[in-house]
Amino acid sequence: MAGQWKITRKIAELRENVMSLSSDISALAKAEIEAQKRKAIMGSVWGGLAAVFAILTLVLLPIVLGFVLIALGLAPWLAFLIVFVFFAVLAGVFGLLAKQKFTSIEPPKRTIDAVKNSVAALKGEYPIEEG
């Protein structure tokens, strides 16, 4: 009878350990994702700026600048070509800044490793430590 209580106690301990491990992995995932959130926000800001300037490229400002260049003595086709190239370059620069921020976001590597190790331990395999 005493052996049965030991098994019951060990099962309860195992259950608590698994729940604690699951909670710890969840907290680790949350911490890693929180660290990457700022990069995602900055990437969104730069992407938003790229979108704003791309819209401006298609709407009013190039027309105004084109007419200003015409008033300065340039041929109409040359004036509007200069304006188009200027705004296209501006949109490209902001787009590259957004891409740079988004590509620097990394997956939660430690969380993935912890989950892999937990699954391996539950299967009775030797956990694989990765950096």
Give per-residue pLDDT as tens, 33-48: 887 888 899 999 999 9
Environment class of 99 (CB within 10 Å of its CB; exposed 0-12, middle 13-18, buried 19+): middle
Rounded to whole angstroms, what are the CA distances from 30 to 34, 53, 84, 129, 130? 6, 35, 45, 21, 20
Tell me the pTM. 0.48
Q: Where are the alpha helices (DSSP H) in the chain?
A: 2-58, 61-71, 76-103, 109-122
Which residues have CB under 8 Å from 94's CB, separation 6+? 46, 47, 49, 50, 53
> Quick one: pLDDT at residue 57?
83
Please give the average per-residue pLDDT across 104-121, as a whole number.
86
Please give the average per-residue pLDDT across 88-111, as a whole number.
92
Interatomic CA distance for residues 131 and 129, integer angstroms: 7
Q: Is the pLDDT of residue 24 over 80?
A: yes
Cβ contact 119:44 at 8 Å: no
Q: Is the pLDDT of residue 106 over 60?
A: yes
Name the token pair of 20.
Answer: 């604690």
- Average pLDDT taken over every residue of the chain: 86
Name the token pair of 130.
Answer: 């990765």
CA distance from start to end of the chain: 46
